[in-house]
Amino acid sequence: MKKLISTAGVIALVAAGYLTLSTVNSYSPVVATAEASGKKTYNATLYVAGMGGHFSVADVTIDPNNTAA
């Protein structure tokens, strides 16, 4: 039983690491693509509050030229 729990824990950590790295890394430069086509990009900063006084800050760029999304 202990081996099963530890194996499941390792698999969960590997999956979480993969999802984190694949979400954070962007292989296409968004700003350079938008500037090349001449359309304006929109930038914003989001502040998200959580419980217990925790908050997160995210810089967001909206690219109207991005046809992949």
Over residues 14-65, the pLDDT tens digits come to 988 887 777 665 555 555 555 566 678 889 999 998 888 888 999 998 877 7
- The residue that leads in pLDDT, 37 or 67, is 67
- Residue 23's identity, in one-letter code, is T
* Category of 18 on φ-ψ map: left (φ > 0), alpha (ψ -120 to 50) or beta: alpha
Identify whether the C-beta of residue 45 lies closer than 8 Å to the C-beta of residue 59: yes
Segments making up each domain of the chain, as ranges: 2-62
Confidence at residue 13, expressed as pLDDT on a 0 to 100 scale = 92
Q: Which has more confidence, 10 or 52?
A: 10
pLDDT in the model for residue 11: 93
